[in-house]
Structures are given as structure tokens and as C-alpha cells.
Structure 1
Amino acid sequence: MSSGTVPAEASGRTDAARREQRGWYVYDWACSVYSTSVLTVFLGPYLTTVAKSAADAQGYVHPLGVPVAAGSFFAYAVSVSVIVAIVVMPVAGAAADRTGRKKPLLALSAYLGAAATAGMFFLDGDRYLLGGLLLVVANVSLAVSMVLYNSYLPQIAGPEERDAVSSRGWAFGYAAGSLVLVANLVLYTAHDSFGLSEAMAVRICLASAGVWWGAFTLVPLRRLRDRRLPAEAVAARRGGGWGRLAATVKDMRRHPLTLGFLLAYLMYNDGVQTVISQASVFGSEELGLDQSTLIVAVLLVQVLAVAGALGMGRLAGRYGAQRTILGSLVVWTLILAAGYFLPAGSPVWFFVLAAFIGTVLGGTQALSRSLFSHLVPEGKEAEYFSAFEMSDRGMSWLGPLLFGLTYQFTGSYRDAILSLILFFLIGFALLARVPVRRAVLDAGNPVPGRI
């Protein structure tokens, strides 16, 4: 009797775990459409056009009385959103840790972001300030939701399967991005057939990302479980967001190797995020490519990123996550160097570059997330992933700011894109110095066979 009962219980636990993992994947499916359709494809060029329509004779707009080159407004708005996010994220992380209730906070941040994205339908004429405001709200909401979402990873996946689970999540996100981009491409290229202006087609594409985000968020909210903390743990974690952040940083000082990884991630991920957010502006403004070409290029990135994320996950299983990430950073450096020399008006070479980006994009992000999850002390997932997202966003304002300033002073997006190589070089050097096996043991976690 006993021998039949144990497997049944184990099977039940496995089924429940798989169900929760599948629900976790769907949040990547839900929110990645914002990153793809809105942040990477449509909003940069469109908001730049709106800002230029509101600019003075010298090409400047004046938000809050500050003169800003219209061509730099989008990059600066991204920087502002990052600064706001690093203020808000510790508060959300502290609340999640103190109560153990991540799902209500995930729902709040997800639906606030989805609503702001849907509101981009009203971005027309010279309403560049409205566009900047909605961008800030959506980006901050996404950042907070990702703190909570990422903190589930160590709870739903064991050490040996974490690279694979994280990679599947990213693959789900890129698959969704591909699907929605196909619909966007049909609507945008055939807007006349639908009786729509080009601007109206763009606004519909922007708003539809918000509707998608909100609709599919229902699935993870049904399947993910909150894990209540013991009463003594709750009492030990009382305090405000910044108070908890200070306590987390103090605790991290006992894990200097985890801090070393965060510093490396902070550097190279800033480069990744800036490439994602500024690629369409570079393609449209510097290379003279039309919106349809940019959509096809980003679609190519999304399709290849699905295979890239899964493929790099398998490489990590063979060579370890750290070595695989280091290899991807070499590829990123070569991509940016090649981007500087891309000929204007030549979509073929832009597509070639997009193919290389797609190959390494998902895997770099997925493996960084899973590698960090091994460096988190048990029971402190939300705290540490708040710091991880702070590291993600904490200097991600610097990349867009450097990009915008380089353009403002040189008038060249080529110089701006080349400046980002610095982030990958420094990130490579810092990551190579982290002894990850010792870092995992230092965090009190079991070391996987390959890491």
C-alpha cells in the first residue's frame, strides 16, 4: 500500500509544479509583446515623429522648459522611466517579502502597465508629452512586475532545471512577439486597404499590445501560488521599501560574489537594453529604413530568439551558463562594431545584423536570470530579485542617456550605437572574474552539475 501511495503523491506534486511553470511561462508571453511591438518597433520612431512635429525652428522641444533635441526625446524618456523604476521597485520587493503575497502586486503592476500601453492609442498630433508620460508609466510597471515574476523562478524550478525553465520562459515571450508582429505587419503595410491612415495603424498596434498584456496576464494569476512566510520571518522583515533595500544590500555584503555578478550584469545588460530600445530609431533615422522593413527585421529577431534562447539553454547544459553568456557578449560586441559600418538604405545587411541579434538576445537574458537564481539565499527571492531588477534598471538609464547625448553632440546615430560597445567589454571582464561555483556555495545552495 505504501509503495503505491508515494509515487501517486510525487506525481501529484510534479503535475502541480509543471502546471505552475506553464502558468509562469505565460507572463513572458503576455508582457513581451510590449517590449517588442511598443518599445522596440513602433514607439521610438513614432514618438520621435510626434516630438519633431512639436519642435521649434531649431528642432527642439521644451518639456518642463528644458530644451531637448526632438531626436533625443525618446531616449531621454526611457532614461527617466528607469530612474523612476529604481525608486519604486524596492517598495514593491519589500511588500512582497513582508507579506509573501506576490500575486496581487503582480496584478496591480501588470494591469497598470497594460492600461498605459492601451492609452497610447490617443498619442497623436503633437502630444509628445503624453507619449513620454505613458512610456514612463508602462516601463515602470513592467519593471515592477518583472521583479515579482522573476522571484518565482527559484520557487518553481529546481537547480538542475532552472536554465531550461528560464530559457523556455524567454522563448514563450519571443514567440508571442513574433505572432503579434505578424499581425502588426499586415495591419501596417495594408493600412490603406483597411481604410486607416499610417498613424492610426501605428496607434492601433501600440494599443493592441496593452490589450494582449492584460488579457494573458489572467493565466499566471490563476496558476502561480503565493507562498506565505513564517510569522517570525514576516516580523524580521518589517520596514519600508528603501529600509528593506538597505537591509538587502547589507545582507549581500555577506555574499560579495553575488554582488560581483550583479555588477557584471548591470554593465552588459545596460548595453542589451539600449540596443533593444534604440534599434528602430537607428534604423529609421540613420539608415533611412521604412517602418515595414523595421517590422520585418524585428520579426526576424523574435523568430530566431526563440531558437536562440532554447539553443543557448542547451549550450549552458553542456558548457555552463557562465561560459555561454561570455560567448554571447563577444557576439554582441561584434554586432555593434558591424552596425557602425552598415550602409544606409540597405535592408539586407540590416536583416543580417538582426539575425545575429536574435541568436544571442534571448539566451543572454534567460541564462543571466537563471544563473542569478542560483546565487540567491533561500527565502530571500523577492528581495534579491528586486536588487537584480535594480541592477537591470539601475544603470539602464545610462545607456539611453549616453546614446541620446552622443547623438545630440555628434548628430550621428552611428557614433551613438558604437558607444555601447563599452558596456559589453566591461561586463565581459567583470563576469569572467566571478567564480560561480564558489558563489553558489556561498549563497548556501546546491551546485548544479554544469554552471
Structure 2
Amino acid sequence: MDGSLPINNYCTCARRQKLLLNRNSTYLGSMLQQLNDRRTMNGWALFDWANSAFALVITTAIFPPYFEAVIDKEFTALGMQFSNSSWLAFTISISYLIIAALSPVLSGIADAGGRRKFFLQAFTTIGGLGCLSLYFFQDMGDLWLGTIGFMLGLIGFAGGLVFYNSFLPVIATVDRFDKLSAKGFAMGYVGSVLLLILNLAMVLKPELFGIPDTGMATRLAFVTVGIWWLVFGYISFSRLPDDVRKKSAGLADVAKKGVEEFQSVWKKVKASPQTLRFLGAFFSYSAGVQTVIFLASLFAAKELGFETSELIQVVLILQIVAIGGAYLAASVSKRYGNKAAIYFQLVIWFCICLAGYFVQGKSTFYGVAAAVGLVMGGIQSMSRSTYAKLIPTREDVTSYFSFYDILEKMAIVMGTFIFAGLDLLTGSMRLSLLALSFFFAMGMIILWRFRLEEVETI
């Protein structure tokens, strides 16, 4: 078999693309000129370069081990006993629960009021300022400052993704989804790795930067993320299509209309069995994927004794592998289809959870981290582009992607909550990691009956 798309799949995509353009020509209007425009697509991918710095430097590489180092291993708060790892996991759960609750209203407003770009800018600003505030997080006395600053970063990052993802079907034709989605993730990995290298140098050799100690260097790393996110984010905004504001009687009316639109989309999604199957599988395996990404470095620091500088090196390896992993997934999808590409990666994710339970030495953990890198970008890139192919209209794409993002956020809530609960009850992060393998197994079972080529316009 050559590397071309299967004829049936190609024809299906072509027919769906033609239907999309015909059915939504009135709405597209000024947007049609943006389809497949190189400057616009590069600007869209640049936002991944901007916000991925938060996902890598703060949530994955530096903040979890820093939190573990400056916060007591066991403490009492809100009248309850917590471990530092369970507190961090619960913080992630609450942050994503908040944004999941807001997403239907916000995405509906974005579509009904034509304010997709506005909300992307707003959440980017919130997230960037949250990162800057972490400079003042120094010890146990700053527990709430650090917690709230981290939560603002998470809310800004997660809240903006639904609006960012929803630009994909509006700026590119369906045949470009896989490649453009992979390009976005790859640019995110490259940009975040470059910033992480700078942060590694700051932590290892603070004196070269005129920084008095490692603690100060770590807190300045949080500042670099905030600046990076805001600067490159606003460059990206200058290249994305401007909002086409729709007439409305007021914010309350727009919000109401947005919720009604969201409910309408839900009815359409329920009418498509294949879309429901994909979303069910996506919800299950996302609980495992996102929890591993958020808490792997904390696991390494607490269970295996990794220092911050060592963890940064591990994450650098992981990210470099992930750059190729995103494009590898796109290549596998082009040859064998999206379902096969996702399924192959789920098998690897399942094995990663099993290996993580038994890993003892640092050298073995490097191998596990490399495996995570191989499938981390691919599973997210393929999931995003597969779902984009299931959306039958461009008129309310933000609401469609809100379903996708809400499911992912609720999966994060469930995954991190179960992880934190088991950690708190058993005192073992290993058992929590092992439990995540269940989510990947369920994802594979549900995905087995999914058939992308059978999806019809709904």
C-alpha cells in the first residue's frame, strides 16, 4: 500500500468538504479567504508555540517538583489532612472542573456572538498573569498564593484551548487537518523545549545569569513562561481571522442563545453513533493521558528521588521524541487511517502504566519517559484532527469543540481525582499510576466499534 489516502476515505472527505462549503456559504463570507492561507495557518500553529511553554515548563517539568520541595509532605488544610502530591492533584481536578462548567456558556457565546478570538485572548492573559504571580511563591506560608497562581495558569491554558482548536475547521480544508494539527503540536514542542533549555541553564548555573540561588532561578523560570506565553500569543492573534461580531440585544441574550446552540449541537451529536463512540473512547483514554502528563514529574521526584535539574533533562528527552511522534502519528494515519493510528498508541500507553508501577531505578524511568514522548503528541494530535473530521458544519464549530474539550476536562477531573484519592488513601503513587491503565483499556474497547468512514453529515 502506498502513502496515499484510501480512495473511499478521500471521496468521503471531498464530499463532506463540498457539503460543508455549500451549506455554510453565508456564514463563511469573509472567512473563505482564510482557508489554507499559509500566513493564517502558521499563525494558528504559533499559538501552540506560545501556550505549550506553560504545559511543559510549569505543569510538567518545574512546578510539580518545586511544589514537592517547598511544601510539607503532610499538612492540614481546610480541616483535612493532605499529602503535597494529593493536594496538587486535587488542585488540577478543581481547576478543570471550573473550566468544564464554564465552557458550554463561553463557547456558545463565542459562536453566537462571534467572539472566538476575544475569549482566546482573555484566557491567554489570565494564564500569563497566573504564571507571573508564581514568582512570589516561596514556601509553605505561600501555599494559597502558589495554589491560586497555578490554578489561574491552568484555567487560562485549558479555557483557551476550546477557542484555539475551533479555529482549525475555519482556516483549513479537511484534507489539511491532520498535517496542520501535527504542525501545531510540533511547534509547541520545539518552542517549549527552547525555553526549557534556557530554564535548565538558569537552574543549573544561576550565577551565570546573576541569580543568587536555585530557588530564585526556578521562580524566574515561571516568569519567563508568562512573558513567553503573552508575547507569542499576541503575535499569533495578529494573524488569526478577526471576530465577526453578530448583532445581539446584550450579553445575557448572547449567553442564552449560546447555551441553546450548545444544546442543539448535543442533539446532533447524539444522532451520530460514530461520533458518540469516538467521544466515549476519547473521554476514557484522555483520563489516563492527561493525568500521566500532569503528574509524571511529581511521581519521579517523590518515588524515585529525581532532582529538578534531572527532571528537566528527562522532560527535554521526552519533548524531543514527541516532536517526531506527532508527525509519525500523522504518517501512520495517512497510510492506515486515524483509528489505527490512535489504537496503536493506546496499546503503548497501556504498557507505560504497567511499566510505571514496576519501575525502580532512574535509568529505567528514562526509557518510560521516552515512550511517553513517542505517543504524547501523537495521541493528542490524532484525536483533535479525527474529531475535526466528524464536525459537519463550520457555523458552530466552537460549540462542537466545546463538547470535545469538556469531555477532556472532565476526564482530567476524573483521572486526577482518582489518582489523588488513591494516593491519599494508600500513600502510594504507584498504585494510582497502575489504576490509570484501566482508562486506556476502556478506550480501546470503545474505539473498536468506531468507523470514521461511516460518518454521515448530521
- Tell whether the structures are fold-level matches, with TM greater than 0.5: yes
Q: Which amino acid aligns with 1:385?
A: F
Whether contact under 8 Å (2:127, 2:154) holds in the other structure is yes
Q: Which amino acid aligns with 1:72?
A: S
Could you say which residue in structure 1 is the equivalent of 2:69? 49
Alpha-carbon distance in structure 2 between the residues aligned to 1:15 and 1:398: 37
Could you say which residue in structure 2 is the equivalent of 1:222? 238
Instruction: Provide Cα deviations, 1:71-116, integer angstroms capped at 9, x if missing partner.
Output: 3111110011011111121122011111223111111111111111
Could you say which residue in structure 2 is the equivalent of 1:255? 272
In the TM superposition, residue 45 of structure 1 has moved relative to its aligned partner by 1.7
Instruction: Provide Cα deviations, 1:133-167, integer angstroms capped at 9, x if missing partner.
Output: 11222111211210000001111121112100100
Q: Which amino acid aligns with 1:138?
A: G
Match status 1:431 vs 2:447: yes
In the TM superposition, residue 195 of structure 1 has moved relative to its aligned partner by 3.8
In the TM superposition, residue 286 of structure 1 has moved relative to its aligned partner by 0.3
Match status 1:145 vs 2:132: no
Match for residue 20 of structure 1 among 40, 51, 76: 40
Match status 1:87 vs 2:107: no
Could you say which residue in structure 1 is the equivalent of 2:292? 275
In the TM superposition, residue 424 of structure 1 has moved relative to its aligned partner by 0.6
Could you say which residue in structure 2 is the equivalent of 1:160? 175
Q: Which stretch of structure 1 is more off in the superposition, 87-96 or 255-264? A: 255-264
In the TM superposition, residue 238 of structure 1 has moved relative to its aligned partner by 6.3
Whether contact under 8 Å (2:211, 2:217) holds in the other structure is no
Alignment of 1:358-373 (within 5 A): 358-373=373-388
Alignment of 1:101-250 (within 5 A): 101-126=115-140, 127-193=142-208, 194-226=210-242, 228=244, 239=256, 242-250=259-267
Could you say which residue in structure 1 is the equivalent of 2:89? 75
Could you say which residue in structure 1 is the equivalent of 2:52? 32
In the TM superposition, residue 229 of structure 1 has moved relative to its aligned partner by 7.8
Alpha-carbon distance in structure 2 between the residues aligned to 1:412 and 1:186: 32
Whether contact under 8 Å (2:113, 2:247) holds in the other structure is no
Residues 13 and 249 (structure 1), Cα distance of their counterparts in 2 relative to 1, 3 Å cut: closer
Aligned residues: 422
Could you say which residue in structure 2 is the equivalent of 1:296? 313
Q: What RMSD over aligned residues (CA atoms) do the two structures have, in Å?
A: 2.2
Residues 184 and 153 (structure 1), Cα distance of their counterparts in 2 relative to 1, 3 Å cut: same
In the TM superposition, residue 242 of structure 1 has moved relative to its aligned partner by 4.5
TM-score by length of 1: 0.89
Whether contact under 8 Å (2:35, 2:172) holds in the other structure is no
Alpha-carbon distance in structure 1 between the residues aligned to 2:138 and 2:319: 28
5+ residue gaps in structure 1? 1-11, 444-451
Instruction: Provide Cα deviations, 1:394-425, integer angstroms capped at 9, x if missing partner.
Output: 12111111111111122112111111101111
- Does the residue aligned with 1:68 lie in a helix, a strand or coil? strand
Instruction: Provide Cα deviations, 1:343-387, integer angstroms capped at 9, x if missing partner.
Output: 14x2x2221111111111111100100000011121221001011
In the TM superposition, residue 241 of structure 1 has moved relative to its aligned partner by 5.3
Q: Which amino acid aligns with 2:173?
A: G
- Does the residue aligned with 1:226 lie in a helix, a strand or coil? coil
In the TM superposition, residue 226 of structure 1 has moved relative to its aligned partner by 3.5
Q: Percent identity?
A: 31
In the TM superposition, residue 192 of structure 1 has moved relative to its aligned partner by 4.6
Q: Which stretch of structure 1 is more off in the superposition, 242-251 or 358-367? A: 242-251
Instruction: Provide Cα deviations, 1:297-317, integer angstroms capped at 9, x if missing partner.
Output: 100111111111112111111
Residues 246 and 14 (structure 1), Cα distance of their counterparts in 2 relative to 1, 3 Å cut: closer
Alpha-carbon distance in structure 2 between the residues aligned to 1:275 and 1:374: 27
Alpha-carbon distance in structure 1 between the residues aligned to 2:260 and 2:71: 39
Alpha-carbon distance in structure 1 between the residues aligned to 2:67 and 2:307: 15
Residues 374 and 237 (structure 1), Cα distance of their counterparts in 2 relative to 1, 3 Å cut: farther
Instruction: Provide Cα deviations, 1:299-339, integer angstroms capped at 9, x if missing partner.
Output: 01111111111121111111111110100000111111111
Q: Which amino acid aligns with 2:96?
A: V
Q: Which amino acid aligns with 2:39?
A: R
Whether contact under 8 Å (1:86, 1:390) holds in the other structure is yes
Whether contact under 8 Å (1:268, 1:423) holds in the other structure is yes
In the TM superposition, residue 187 of structure 1 has moved relative to its aligned partner by 0.7
Residues 245 and 15 (structure 1), Cα distance of their counterparts in 2 relative to 1, 3 Å cut: closer
Match status 1:355 vs 2:360: no
- Does the residue aligned with 1:67 lie in a helix, a strand or coil? strand
Whether contact under 8 Å (1:260, 1:434) holds in the other structure is yes
Whether contact under 8 Å (1:48, 1:73) holds in the other structure is no
Match for residue 345 of structure 2 among 309, 316, 328: 328
In the TM superposition, residue 27 of structure 1 has moved relative to its aligned partner by 0.4
Whether contact under 8 Å (1:114, 1:210) holds in the other structure is yes
Alpha-carbon distance in structure 1 between the residues aligned to 2:258 and 2:35: 36
Match for residue 314 of structure 1 among 308, 331, 342: 331
Instruction: Provide Cα deviations, 1:240-286, integer angstroms capped at 9, x if missing partner.
Output: 65544333322322223212211111111111110111011110000
Alpha-carbon distance in structure 1 between the residues aligned to 2:422 and 2:213: 34
In the TM superposition, residue 48 of structure 1 has moved relative to its aligned partner by 2.7
Whether contact under 8 Å (2:114, 2:244) holds in the other structure is yes
In the TM superposition, residue 15 of structure 1 has moved relative to its aligned partner by 9.3
